[in-house]
């Protein structure tokens, strides 16, 4: 292997961080909702955080941890509201406990909310690694830079993509396969808003695609399944894909 690296002049990266961040993410999620687990493992979780930052060559680990830890109470409050949105929306949901223990969409949202706070602390790579771990587990890709309001619901979750500059306001419901993306993929657009804004109380059904940084989906609107939207939609709108079926008797 050393010969390979020498011949290729490759740069060495601490890719083992992927395992460390995945483990940290799991432990932090457990501790966020399980008081007994938190009491037994909090010091170990904190130590994991320090070790990860040191592998990123970041100093002031105690200061950064204190800033991050101070957000956990607010994150828990937001996630409890998300869980209530799941229970009150999904007819298959039998209890709040089921949401916390079994719903991939809720898990993806939880990791998003934890990673978003790291993004705000300018720990972008750490945050992205957390979100990519959740992506690998749930099939849901939420960039930690997105801004998501209260009581967010993603049913089934698989195949959902939410881009970096997306803004999602309160009480939004989404279903599997939804993409909130950009029209163009250009490095020159990195500093611009490339992804849509979703206003309050919007429902977006399965496999809908909404593209563009200037696109705003107005409050109380419904975006139907398989629709592709590239223009702003006024509030209280219903957008559907018209399809014709031909049924032939055999």
SS3 141: strand
CATH class of the region 16-140:
mainly alpha
146-242 topology per CATH: UDP N-Acetylglucosamine Acyltransferase; domain 1 (2.160.10)
Q: What is the pLDDT of residue 13?
A: 77
Pull the structure tokens for residue 229: 């939207």
The C-alpha atoms of residue 229 and residue 207 are separated, in whole angstroms, by: 11
Q: Is the pLDDT of residue 4 over 70?
A: no
Residue 113, CA distances (Å) to 8, 11, 54, 79, 227 in order: 39, 32, 23, 8, 28
Domain boundaries in the chain?
16-140, 146-242
Short-list 115, 87, 90, 138, CA closest to 29 = 115
Q: What is the pLDDT of residue 64?
A: 98
Q: Is the pLDDT of residue 228 over 90?
A: yes
Over residues 132-168, the pLDDT tens digits come to 999 999 999 999 999 999 999 999 999 999 999 999 9
Q: What share of the chain is helix, strand, coil (3-state, %, to 5)?
A: 45, 10, 40
Q: What is the pTM of this model?
A: 0.92
**What is the separation of C-alpha 25 from the centre of its chain, rounded to a whole number of angstroms?**
13
């Amino acid at each position: 292997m050393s010969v390979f690296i020498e011949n290729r002049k490759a740069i060495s990266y601490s890719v083992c961080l992927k395992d460390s961040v995945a483990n940290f993410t799991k432990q932090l999620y457990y501790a966020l909702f399980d008081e007994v687990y938190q009491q037994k493992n909090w010091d170990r979780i904190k130590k994991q955080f320090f070790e990860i930052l040191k592998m990123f060559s970041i100093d002031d680990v105690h200061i950064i941890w204190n800033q991050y830890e101070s957000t956990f109470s607010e994150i828990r409050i937001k996630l409890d509201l998300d869980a209530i949105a799941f229970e009150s929306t999904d007819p298959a949901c039998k209890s709040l406990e089921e949401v916390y223990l079994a719903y991939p969409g809720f898990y993806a949202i939880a990791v998003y909310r934890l990673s978003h706070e790291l993004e705000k602390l300018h720990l972008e790579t750490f945050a992205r690694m957390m979100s990519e771990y959740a992506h690998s587990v749930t099939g849901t890709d939420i960039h930690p830079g997105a801004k998501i309001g209260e009581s967010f619901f993603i049913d089934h979750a698989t195949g959902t993509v939410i881009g970096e500059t997306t803004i999602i306001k309160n009480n939004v419901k989404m279903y599997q396969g939804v993409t909130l993306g950009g029209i163009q993929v250009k490095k020159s657009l990195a500093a611009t808003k490339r992804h849509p804004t979703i206003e309050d109380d919007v429902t977006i059904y399965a496999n809908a695609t909404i593209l563009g940084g200037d696109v705003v989906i107005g409050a109380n609107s419904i975006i139907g399944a398989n629709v592709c939207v590239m223009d702003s939609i006024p509030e209280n709108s219903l957008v559907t894909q018209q399809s014709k079926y031909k049924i032939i008797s055999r």
